[in-house]
Structure 1
Amino acid sequence: MAMINAGEEKRYTHELDFTIQGMSCAACAARIEKTIGRVEGVTEVAVSFPLRTAWVQVSGGKVTKEMLAEKVGQLGFSAKLNESASEGLQRERAWLRLRLIAAVLLTLPLLAGMAMHLSWLQPVANLLPDVLFVPWLQLALATVVQFVIGMPFYFGAYYALRQRSANMDVLVVIGTTAAYLYSHYVVFRDGLFAGGSHGSPLYFETSAVVMTAVLLGKYIETSASLKAQQESVGFDELRVQTALVERGGLLTSLRTEFVRKGDIVHVGEDEFVPVDGTIQYGESALDESLLTGESAAVVKRPEDVVWAGTRNGSGKLTVITGAAGHETLLSRIQELVHQGQRAKSSLQSQVDAVASWFVPAMLITAVLTLGIWGLVVEPGNWSKASLCAIAVLLAACPCALGLAAPISLVIASGRLAKRGIVAKEAGAVERLAAIRTLVLDKTGTLTEGKPKVSFAGPLGTGRSSLLRLAVALESESSHPLADAIREEAARIGLVTPDAERISYAAGGGAEGWIHGVHAAIGNARYIENLGVALSQEARRLASERETHGETVIYVTERTNCVGIIGFRDQLKSDAAQMARELSHLGIQPIVATGDHSAPANAVAKALGIKEVYASMLPESKLALVEKLKRGGKRVAMAGDGWNDAPALAAADVGIAMGNGTYGALDAGHITLIFSRLQAITEAIRLSRLTIRNIRQNLVFALCYNAVIIPFAAIGFLQPWMAGSAMALSSVSVVANALRLGARMERAAQRSL
């Protein structure tokens, strides 16, 4: 094993992730984050309560999953190192279901005691057998519910208090224990066999009903989180575990992790493609809706690229593998979606800050309620004071606040991914909803990004000689114009000469030596900076081509311009529709391109865009974005993810227009897997729906606490009512978040 010195160890970082069981609310997630964040070598940590997962970035090789699992265990939680979020949620739900069934069966007999407290239920109480009112039976049943079924709440509260923290478990334990102990005192004061239906009222049903209601709420909440997690992404359903591989003339079924680059994979009719690769033989229509968001099947032929997770149609295909297993585009998208779900938006961080002091504030409120009732409102009536204080504790609900943002973001990120839109951080979705200005690159964003040579005008040389110089200088460039020159040279069968000492300037051009002679190609500014004077004839010819909306570059040999080359790039078919939708969304579009003003203005005019910036270098686009932000505008930048990288990073939201390549996933805050312009407006529209849903959740959670807690404090709510309302409040927030998925689906369908 190679030794790593201190400096290299500091730079070496990697990520660890695992699932966590036992969390009861967002405060638990915050406590785990705080503890793991203090471990030496941990540089970043994020814990998601809805997903029950932890993501940790560490430097060096000293921190392991086992070390972190031990730290989590010391906090009273369980870290599962080889378990997916879905598996963990399913196991947690099964355990909750068992506890809930037991709690319901033991609580039902205790409801007879509730009939004693409510006058309108007295006729019912008179019909019930006296054995249900016997104190020892109620004590026995309530004890099992409180200390056996409810024991995990006690453990959670103990570990929280040991860390000088507080969570939902603390409120539940204090409230239900107080109700249980009050009834316990009455039983032993009056005797285990006193009573019948006319004995002193007991409140065992209060603690048992609250425990049962909380378990019911947690069960529904966990089921909803599991459903949201599965439905929002669903990548596992698209992942193929095995592939039919041809090796040595034989067909062998292998796990996709063992398929190597270059292997030939056979794909049958109506099967999911198991690998990324290029079609060798066959023709078929494939469903690529996962990646492109388009429901229409795409016909694929030999030399076309296919991706894992897409469904083959009626034809049989053989595919040359480019990537398999965890290296496929599908796997990388899934990881980025999970990364975005783990991250926190600024809104969520603010809510977490509120939730951190919520429980201590409720404990203080309960103590004040006890004192005010016992000393001021009804002096000496500590029974009434205790019931009101217990009701306050049981009504307080930090879970609804903690779930308001993350559950909606989990659903939103998955739905966006299904439309070919990958949000790599939760904050990007929040910021996108507030965008009012969109800066758009031209080439590869508004246009197809596949320009063709439309004109080659030699000056003092032949057309073939002009193109030979151009293709030699652009032989190693990845720029779309270079591709067009090489394509034109291949079309007419030119033999390309060798060029030496080639150097490229981003947004400018290239220069080099061909047969010992200096030559250059690029825009007017680049050529003039090389000391070459452009003739009037060259400028006239270039101006004429630019009036036709063409992009023009100059070719020079020694100190003379030997010709110009014009390129034409078609607008994307959905560019006009996107421009109209931006107007409806109240967003101002701006074109910023490195191209000349004539083709830039021609594109802008065709789309009805009024503000255009042409001849922009990458640093010029960066300066434009920063200027707009300084002017108080919320700015998004959409570009191809390469030359536009500085501006993408500087914008409030950088939208990288992908082209199905792996590198495109590394650019921008949001990546469009394919350069589908309407995906931009879809992303904006869906992000606004998401933020609206989060705000609805927050309003409900805050209003619930603002209304219910005062009612509990003034004695209008029985403790069992307050506890039941607390459990149902988080369920209501989750239910509203689940509505988001259906609304996003309808919005996406309307945009088709």
Structure 2
Amino acid sequence: MTFKYTIIGMFCDGCRTKVEKALNDLEGIEATVTLEPPIATITMQKPVQTDQFQEALSKAGSYSIKAFNPNDLHLPVEQVVVEHPKNAAGKYYCPMFCEGEKVYDDAGDCPVCGMDLVKAPDLAAVKIEFTCPMHPEIIQDHPGSCSICGMDLVPLEPKDSEENKVYLDLWSKMKIALFFTVPIFIISMSDMIPNNPLLKVLDTQTWNWAQLILSLPVVFYACWIFFVRAWKSILTWNLNMFTLIGIGSGVAFLFSLVGLFSPDIFPNEFKTHHGTVHLYFEATTVILTLVLLGQLLEAKAHSRTSGAIKELLKLAPTEATLVSNGVDKLIAIHDIKKGDSLRVKPGDKIPVDGKITNGESTIDESMISGEPIPVDKNINDTVIAGTLNGNKSFVMVAEKVGSETMLSQIVQMVNSASRSRAPIQKVADRIAKYFVPTVVLASIITFIVWATFGPEPAMVYGFINAIAVLIIACPCALGLATPMSVMVGVGKGAQSGVLIKNAEALENMNKVNVLITDKTGTITEGKPSVEKVFAIENNENELLQNCASLNQYSEHPLAEAVIKFAKLKQISLIEVNDFEAIAGKGVIGTVANKKVAFGNRSLMEQIEAKVTEDLEYKISAEQKLGKTVSYIAVEGVALGFISISDAIKETSKTSIQELIRQGVEVIMLTGDNENTAKAVAKELNLTSFKAGCSPEDKLNEIKRLQAEGKIVAMAGDGINDAPALAQADIGIAMGTGTDVAIESAKITLVKGDLQGIVKAKNLSHAVMKNINQNLFFAFFYNVLGIPIAAGVLYPFFGVLLSPMIAALAMSFSSVSVIANALRLRNSKL
């Protein structure tokens, strides 16, 4: 029984491979999956419910399956999709990732730590509206001219971002808190001035009532949210920094209220020489205002750390020039469809991914690759959305639009990685879990010790020092230490052409001590060109026709070189039957009723082709020159070869030397022959290489090194590299490579050369160093501050830490972490 199904959610060949494997893993199922159209043809021995297929696909990824409907093939992908995977874009998440990847639909507080939820950037370009600069009432969703005055419409300025709204709300509360806290502070501190001038105006009791009235807007409006968060944390027993702030400042405020309304219930040691009780309205309001300041700075910092994503989104232009029937028409970026011809004028941004069909230019790709040197582009060359055209005009065809463009994929990857958790974060999480109860216990012990053994008024000393312990120990800096560095580091990497899939990859890259690298497309340009076609019987054109025809179905870079060479020779391609690509060896098929094989020595051995000694000699001579040589066999007899050269990238040698200097062992594993591999290794001063490697050989070599305790990174760009990329501790794909390789990797290099690995290594080192510095700042203030706040220095130096100074120190620890993380933006990779 054979049935067809529509597969939903596939966007690349990597998706197709995963879906096909997931279906074939089911017992009694034989499935063939195609990407365009997205159809699975399934042969089953006995009836299988669609739910079973869906269960298998859900484990493989965000894919759906439904009964095939031919009408689906005529709909855009977004209309075919039944259910999209839940995405964080536009949602709210905790900046400390208390609940991992969990997101919320609405703004609010994290139920675990109480922090303000942060809105993840909307990854899709916002629908641009256009307005007239003279008549703002004219608004439409596409470019054009004003219906009143005829002026060209301009894009409407975007509204304030969510982060900016949060910041402005906190800033308005901060101004209120400052307005009322400063007078309270002045009134309280005036007691330290000889012959207090304020007492000449009003008595102490009246000034105490003034402090109460002034503190009400601070406690019950500007900073009330901290008490709400503290109460929630106690109810749910998710004790956090706001638990300590709420208890400490709340106890101080309640104590002051009781002292003001019922002073007679307090013993004399709690009273001043004026007969009034020592009140702490100033400690309460100053502490809360300083915490609010910390929240304000954090809101500003989160806006800055997501700046990389915002800058990437800004790269996408809002409009493009459509060429239709020889006429240029200005359209919105959202209206571009695959296959559209677009004119890119000098100085314009490339609107979508595609290829040049007419003209040439020099394009600045620095915003994508991080490389400042413009790149020459000619007909059939690929251009990337968001890059900047030089001083020439050209026409391109749109191939990838919307979320399919490289820019969109980069934004998605940066956003996902920014929200992922590094393994080192688990250490901070474990500490924070036990930290708050420990601090509360320390505060209670501090009060008991001072009340029992302290000087008079002992109870007052105990009360003040207990509050100071609660305040200074707030672990907000501890929670921010890792996420802040990861967010800034991932953004910095994206701006330098290094795309990191998650925080774990960012952390582990620093530990890598072995780099496995492929040759073609990784060390070399990956743009091979045919140098020679040799035929034993002088029928070179016939052999070339057989090979080119066979290779028209292959994705390998060598295949493209052969086809291009055949076209230059004006040799036509003919039909091929029984085509099969044998990973790591070559391709076989039937051409003109003859069995043809094109590949390396291993393929010749597999099909048991006869190879003469003279042919072997000629091939060996070519290989010693560093050429890649592929055998051509017809009906089981090797009749010639094609010699192909692939230039080594200019950056490969310097990059390898730098990695070796950093203590990384570099090993080249290639499917090419021994002689060619040896020539390349010699030029690069590589001491370790292996030739003739199949995908399985590469996989096994990585497993062997990992068994020895090595931390292995693998760099590759082809389909045959995908298993090794997935097995390696860090898979590094060249952005110029295949979709399945990029899908399998944890780091993608946009430009696609080894210099990007050096950048990734340097970035990882800088981020981990930054995280460790942040953890030091967090622990330094807490560990040093708690005993000082408890009064350990008082018996020796007479030094006590007031709750206000403790609050300042606590806020300063958060500011230190944020400022230190932002330094990563200026790192040189």
Secondary structure in 1 matching 2:354: strand
Q: Which residue in 2 is equivalent to 1:189?
A: 262
Q: Distance in 2 between matches of 1:586 and 1:124?
A: 70
User: Is the aligned partner of 1:741 residue 2:812?
Assistant: no
Using the TM superposition, give the Cα deviation of residue 518 of structure 1 relative to its aligned residue in structure 2, in angstroms: 2.5
Among candidates 59, 77, 93, match of residue 167 of structure 2: 93
Percent identical among aligned pairs is: 32
TM norm structure 1: 0.87
Q: Which residue in 1 is equivalent to 2:678?
A: 601
Using the TM superposition, give the Cα deviation of residue 289 of structure 1 relative to its aligned residue in structure 2, in angstroms: 0.3
Using the TM superposition, give the Cα deviation of residue 349 of structure 1 relative to its aligned residue in structure 2, in angstroms: 2.5
Q: Contact (CA 8 Å) 1:112, 1:128: kept in 2 or not?
A: no
Q: Which residue in 1 is equivalent to 2:486?
A: 409
Using the TM superposition, give the Cα deviation of residue 641 of structure 1 relative to its aligned residue in structure 2, in angstroms: 4.4
Among candidates 243, 246, 266, match of residue 170 of structure 1: 243
Q: Which residue in 1 is equivalent to 2:101?
A: 46
Q: Which residue in 2 is equivalent to 1:567?
A: 644
Using the TM superposition, give the Cα deviation of residue 294 of structure 1 relative to its aligned residue in structure 2, in angstroms: 1.2
C-alpha distance 253-489 of structure 1, shift in aligned 2 (>3 A): closer
Using the TM superposition, give the Cα deviation of residue 108 of structure 1 relative to its aligned residue in structure 2, in angstroms: 0.8
Q: Contact (CA 8 Å) 2:492, 2:824: kept in 1 or not?
A: no
C-alpha distance 83-341 of structure 1, shift in aligned 2 (>3 A): closer
**Which letter maps to 1:148?**
Y
Q: Contact (CA 8 Å) 2:670, 2:693: kept in 1 or not?
A: yes
Q: Which residue in 2 is equivalent to 1:229?
A: 306
**Which letter maps to 2:818?**
V
Q: Please say which of residues 261-270 and 621-630 is displaced more in the overlay.
A: 261-270
Q: Deviations over 1:580-606 (max 9, x none)?
A: 211332222111111111111111111
Q: Distance in 1 between matches of 2:186 and 2:203?
A: 6
C-alpha distance 479-269 of structure 1, shift in aligned 2 (>3 A): closer
Q: Which residue in 2 is equivalent to 1:701?
A: 778
Secondary structure in 1 matching 2:226: helix
Q: Which residue in 1 is equivalent to 2:561?
A: 484
Q: Distance in 1 between matches of 2:108 and 2:469?
A: 36
Q: Which residue in 1 is equivalent to 2:506?
A: 429
Q: Deviations over 1:261-311 (max 9, x none)?
A: 122333333232222222344443322102221112223344332222112
**Which letter maps to 2:213?**
A
Q: Distance in 2 between matches of 1:502 and 1:209?
A: 77
**Which letter maps to 2:101?**
A
Q: Which residue in 1 is equivalent to 2:52?
A: 7
Secondary structure in 2 matching 1:629: helix
Q: Distance in 2 between matches of 1:469 and 1:22?
A: 58
Q: Which residue in 1 is equivalent to 2:795?
A: none
Q: Please say which of residues 328-337 and 549-558 is displaced more in the overlay.
A: 549-558
Q: Distance in 2 between matches of 1:124 and 1:575?
A: 78
Q: Distance in 1 between matches of 2:195 and 2:301?
A: 36
Secondary structure in 1 matching 2:630: strand
Q: Which residue in 2 is equivalent to 1:57?
A: none
C-alpha distance 299-458 of structure 1, shift in aligned 2 (>3 A): closer
Q: Distance in 2 between matches of 1:344 and 1:338?
A: 12
User: Is the aligned partner of 1:107 residue 2:178?
Assistant: no
C-alpha distance 475-249 of structure 1, shift in aligned 2 (>3 A): closer
Q: Distance in 1 between matches of 2:93 and 2:712?
A: 41
Using the TM superposition, give the Cα deviation of residue 116 of structure 1 relative to its aligned residue in structure 2, in angstroms: 5.3
Q: Distance in 2 between matches of 1:319 and 1:543?
A: 43
Q: Which residue in 1 is equivalent to 2:11?
A: none
Q: Deviations over 1:120-154 (max 9, x none)?
A: x4248446764495111111112332222221112
Q: Which residue in 2 is equivalent to 1:59?
A: none
Q: Contact (CA 8 Å) 1:19, 1:79: kept in 2 or not?
A: no
Among candidates 595, 599, 608, match of residue 518 of structure 1: 595
Q: Contact (CA 8 Å) 1:452, 1:568: kept in 2 or not?
A: yes
User: Is the aligned partner of 1:725 residue 2:809?
Assistant: yes
Q: Please say which of residues 608-617 and 558-567 is displaced more in the overlay.
A: 558-567
Using the TM superposition, give the Cα deviation of residue 161 of structure 1 relative to its aligned residue in structure 2, in angstroms: 2.2
Q: Deviations over 1:614-638 (max 9, x none)?
A: 1111111111111111111121111
Using the TM superposition, give the Cα deviation of residue 360 of structure 1 relative to its aligned residue in structure 2, in angstroms: 2.3
Q: Which residue in 2 is equivalent to 1:284?
A: 361
Secondary structure in 2 matching 1:712: helix
Using the TM superposition, give the Cα deviation of residue 728 of structure 1 relative to its aligned residue in structure 2, in angstroms: 1.5
Give the number of equivalent residue pairs. 708
**Which letter maps to 1:370?**
F
Q: Contact (CA 8 Å) 2:313, 2:411: kept in 1 or not?
A: no
Q: Deviations over 1:215-254 (max 9, x none)?
A: 1111112212212221576112212222233445554443
Q: Which runs of 5+ in 1 are unaligned?
A: 34-44, 48-53, 55-64
C-alpha distance 125-437 of structure 1, shift in aligned 2 (>3 A): farther
Q: Distance in 2 between matches of 1:71 and 1:227?
A: 20
C-alpha distance 15-580 of structure 1, shift in aligned 2 (>3 A): same
Q: Distance in 2 between matches of 1:238 and 1:708?
A: 46
Secondary structure in 1 matching 2:650: coil
* C-alpha RMSD of the superposition: 3.1
Q: Which residue in 2 is equivalent to 1:122?
A: 193
Q: Which residue in 2 is equivalent to 1:38?
A: none
TM norm structure 2: 0.80
Q: Distance in 2 between matches of 1:196 and 1:9?
A: 79
Q: Please say which of residues 364-373 and 566-575 is displaced more in the overlay.
A: 364-373
C-alpha distance 335-513 of structure 1, shift in aligned 2 (>3 A): same
Q: Which residue in 2 is equivalent to 1:638?
A: 715
Using the TM superposition, give the Cα deviation of residue 179 of structure 1 relative to its aligned residue in structure 2, in angstroms: 1.1
C-alpha distance 526-373 of structure 1, shift in aligned 2 (>3 A): same
Q: Contact (CA 8 Å) 2:586, 2:598: kept in 1 or not?
A: yes
C-alpha distance 511-82 of structure 1, shift in aligned 2 (>3 A): closer
Q: Distance in 2 between matches of 1:144 and 1:593?
A: 71
Q: Distance in 2 between matches of 1:195 and 1:108?
A: 23
**Which letter maps to 1:609?**
L
C-alpha distance 73-701 of structure 1, shift in aligned 2 (>3 A): closer
Q: Contact (CA 8 Å) 2:521, 2:737: kept in 1 or not?
A: no
Q: Which has the higher contact order (CA 8 A, sep 6+)?
A: 1
Among candidates 508, 520, 524, match of residue 443 of structure 1: 520
Q: Which residue in 1 is equivalent to 2:40?
A: none
Q: Which runs of 5+ in 2 are unaligned?
A: 1-5, 9-48, 63-84, 124-159, 265-270, 793-799
C-alpha distance 242-125 of structure 1, shift in aligned 2 (>3 A): farther
Q: Contact (CA 8 Å) 1:257, 1:326: kept in 2 or not?
A: no
